[in-house]
Amino acid sequence: MAGYRKLGRTSSQRKALLRNQVTNLLYHGKIVTTESKAKEIRKIAESMIALAVKERDNFQTVTVTTKVARKDKDGKRVKEVVDGKKVTVFDNVEKTIKKDSPSRLHARKQMMKFLYPITEVPAENAGKKRNTKAVNLSDKLFDEIAPKYANRNGGYTRIVKIGPRKGDAAMEVLIELI
């Protein structure tokens, strides 16, 4: 007996399906799917959330000095002439950053190995590539989802039966983060 459901697909199709479903579950918070898919998604999503809960406070806050290009009111870089060449003007800025510990970095890489990258497109400027924004799901797991479940020992998802699907009578369920 297999330790997982085959879902009537080849291994590459099954892996792609589960990656897509888990990514959407963690991004949106809930999805509608069939019961057998939801049970497989639950295993993967709960293990990722447990990993994020375990490593959520495992970082140091460090202050670093960086060089940032000076910009004018239009958002373009300011250039000045030095020795007959146009050179961009840089300012030194102090920033505080989170420096991951090795175990948290490993957890982040394990998550990013499985989750698909998400690009968020705002509704008012749809169709404009420059207005898109890449969403880092591992940051969302560490910063938003993990603190919510800090005092909980497992059971981060809920499966609610909706009823049979009209086309093939497969049991549809809503899987959501509690």
pLDDT in tens, 117-153: 998 887 776 666 777 888 999 999 999 999 999 998 9
Query: How many whole angstroms separate alpha carbon 80 and alpha carbon 85?
Result: 8
pLDDT at 8: 86
Nearest residue to 68 (alpha-carbon basis) of 84, 48, 92, 96: 92
**Partners of 25 in the β-ladder:** none
Please state which CATH class domain 11-57+102-177 belongs to.
alpha beta
pLDDT in tens, 71-87: 888 888 888 888 888 88
pLDDT at 17 over 90: yes
pLDDT at 127: 65
Domain ranges for the chain, please list them. Answer: 11-57+102-177, 59-100
Residue type at position 8:
G
Q: Are 170 and 156 in contact (CB under 8 A)?
A: no
What mean pLDDT value characterizes the chain? 90
Q: What is the DSSP string of 125-163?
A: TTT-GGG-EEE-HHHHIIIIIHHHTTT--S--EEEEEEE
pLDDT in tens, 54-112: 998 888 999 999 998 888 888 888 888 888 888 888 999 999 988 988 999 999 999 99
pLDDT at 174: 96
Query: How many whole angstroms separate alpha carbon 164 and alpha carbon 167?
Result: 9
Neighbouring C-alpha atoms within 13 Å toward the C-beta of 154: 4
